[in-house]
Amino acid sequence: MPQHDVLVIGAGLAGQRAALAAAESGASVGIISKVHPVRSHSNAAAGGINAALNPEDSWESHAFDTVKGSDYLGDQDAIEIMCREAPDEVLHLEHLGVTFHRNEEGRLGTRAFGGASAARTYYVADITGQALLHVLYEQLMKHDEVERFEEWFTTALVRDDTGRIAGAVTRNIRDGSLEVFTAKAVILASGGNGQVFTPTTNALICTGDGIAMAYRAGAPLMDMEMVQYHPTTLAGLGLLITEGARGEGAHLYNAAGERFMERYAPNKMELASRDVVSRAEQTEIDEGRGFPDGTVALDITKVPRQRILQALREIVNVGRDFAGVDITREPIHIKPGNHYAMGGIKTDVNGETDVAGLYAAGECACVSVHGGNRLGANSLLDTLIFGRRAGAHAARAGKGMAMPSPAGSELEREREAIDAIVARDRTGRRLSELKAEMGKTMDADCSVFRDEDRLRGALETVKRLQEEVNTVSVDDKGSVFNQDVLGVLELQFMLDNAECIVVGAIERKESRGAQYRTDFPERNDDDWLKHINLTVKGADSPEVSYSEVTMTQWEPEERKY
């Protein structure tokens, strides 16, 4: 039975950074991931990482942009920490070997990004997330004192008899064996839940596992209704076209050839924050000014061809391979698409949740630095800053503590649940049909524009699917790489996420950030400048409660771009 001071679940940027920080602080560390770490979805963060590193820039400016971008729902103490620590973190990564773009003097060079008042996005072509992820993995290979469990699927958290989180139940995907991993602290770094929506820019692995596990273990989820729709995704497939394209100078046009952002954000135009641009596009499409395939056009052709090929090579490939378009020569059709969960497991600035022994960092967590809307190039930063803080804090907290003993029979329960799924004969619909219904419902009724009636309908569908998934059967009856049975567990996780997203969206009777209620079209600071927390409570789940938004130096103002 593996034992570690700190157990990290998820090996994207937040998880790897947490593991390295915990090991540096002297803890024994295990890191578990259901895929090989370099397959993690941090890869997809193409555009860059924000830091006020330039002497003419300031962390306060970065923080204010982030606060404003969050539509004042972000916690300002957490945002201050993130922005203050950003420059050192970027330098640390540079020292580890990240091949950041240089300017002519050989110093770190920047590009512009949405919602930012200065060019403070550091980048590696348009593979920044990939470069960071692979460089951190180099460090994991170097520091073999961090024990890696690659292709292990965590099914549940376990407690000791004081109620403290004491480890996790995990299935070795290669042979199907189940183990209890014991730890003084567990850090969830398991990523977002984009697969709840169809389509999504998110990878197939982004199924909200950690968010659901924390919720089931009693940790509050915060601001789950805040779901970012990215302004530039390919219709149908949902693949991402990086904001870097607009950062490099690309424009948006409707079918009539109008640069419509003039009407919505006359100052920042295409580089307004993402919720603003997505709503503008969706309005154009809904009011009949889009193309027949329900899209608008992103035109990158005015950026010099060589610059595109150097700095946006990845989306040249995406356009060519997945849309049949040479983006250096013609516009590409795009639309808003599900992209990022601002909400997640409620944590403090050290990644601690409300449940003893349980931490969270990265997209699965909600500190909250993104509030109602995340700025581009702040997600990589979030993963690294709060991954590091969680790792270091968990390591410190565990010093002198005895190794806990997991109570109860969590392992047996999980084994029986999995065995029951495998043993069940087919009676109803296939797993894929359930997933498709969830994804399409969420995209139709809980996306850019929302209203109470449609949200109620979505909630009903989700609740029905929660029942139905408990009767679903699988084709694969084996133990080795049984992806089928894991798919059932993932859908159960996703449905918990979906329920909380819809409940949060129904609860918040205002329009703020990514939440736009056509029946409550105004921001309402008097009643709703607060976080919505959802906690499991038997049959009444989720129970709704509220917490204050932390303000330090920025009073809410009207948000204009």
Nearer to another protein, 159 or 435 (CB): 435
Q: Terminal CA-to-CA distance of the chain, rounded, Å?
A: 55
User: What single letter denotes the amino acid at residue 47?
Assistant: G
Nearer to another protein, 124 or 212 (CB): 124
Q: What mask of x and - would describe binding to another protein in positions 216 to 255, judged by CB under 8 A? A: -------------------xxxxxx---------------
Nearer to another protein, 321 or 526 (CB): 321
- Residues between 282 and 341 that touch another protein (CB under 8 A): 293, 301, 304-306, 309-310, 313-314, 317-318, 321-322, 324, 328-329
User: Whole-number minimum distance, CB 526 to another protein, in Å?
Assistant: 39
User: Whole-number minimum distance, CB 120 to another protein, in Å?
Assistant: 14
CB 198 within 8 A of CB 500: no
Nearer to another protein, 141 or 401 (CB): 141
- Residues between 484 and 503 that touch another protein (CB under 8 A): 484, 486-487, 490
Q: Is 496 exposed, middle or buried (0-12, 13-18, 19+ CB in 10 A)?
A: buried
> Which of 161, 174, 416, 471 is the binder for another protein (CB under 8 A)?
174
Q: What mask of x and - would describe binding to another protein in positions 200 to 219, judged by CB under 8 A? A: ---xxx-x------------
> Which of 8, 124, 358, 366 is the binder for another protein (CB under 8 A)?
124
Site for another protein contains 401 (CB under 8 A)? no
Q: Look at the block and give the residue holding tokens 């995907």.
A: 173
CB 112 within 8 A of CB 271: yes
Closest by Cα among 56, 30, 62 to 385: 62
Q: Look at the block and give the residue holding tokens 């100052």.
A: 267
User: Whole-number minimum distance, CB 136 to another protein, in Å?
Assistant: 10
Q: Look at the block and give the residue holding tokens 């139709």.
A: 444
Q: Running DSSP on this structure, what letter comes out for residue 404?
A: P
Give CA angle at 184 (180, 189), nearest 5°: 75
User: Whole-number minimum distance, CB 293 to another protein, in Å?
Assistant: 6
User: Whole-number minimum distance, CB 534 to another protein, in Å?
Assistant: 24
Closest by Cα among 15, 351, 344 to 150: 15
> Which of 416, 478, 521, 537 is the binder for another protein (CB under 8 A)?
478
Nearest-angstrom CA–CA distance, 186 and 327: 44
Q: Look at the block and give the residue holding tokens 């960071």.
A: 132
Strand ranges, E, within 103-189: 110-111, 121-122, 146-150, 152-159, 165-172, 178-188
Site for another protein contains 439 (CB under 8 A)? yes
Tokens found for residue 422: 């495998």
**Does the annotation mark 259 as catalytic?**
no
Q: How far is CA 324 from CA 21, 316, 317, 327, 542, in A?
A: 43, 10, 9, 9, 45
Q: Which of 274, 450, 454, 517 is catalytic?
A: 274
Site for another protein contains 548 (CB under 8 A)? no
User: Whole-number minimum distance, CB 400 to another protein, in Å?
Assistant: 31
The residues pairing with 114 across neighbouring beta strands, listed in sequence order, are: none
Nearer to another protein, 50 or 353 (CB): 50
> Which of 199, 357, 362, 391 is the binder for another protein (CB under 8 A)?
199
Q: Indicate the Cα dihedral angle 495, 294, 561, 515, nearest 10°.
A: -20
> Which of 216, 424, 440, 463 is the binder for another protein (CB under 8 A)?
440
Closest by Cα among 298, 295, 276, 299 to 286: 295
Closest by Cα among 21, 331, 385, 7 to 169: 7
Stretch of 60-68, 129-137, 258-266, 372-380 contacting another protein, by CB under 8 A:
129-137
- Residues between 354 and 393 that touch another protein (CB under 8 A): none
Task: Enumerate the active-site residues.
Answer: 274
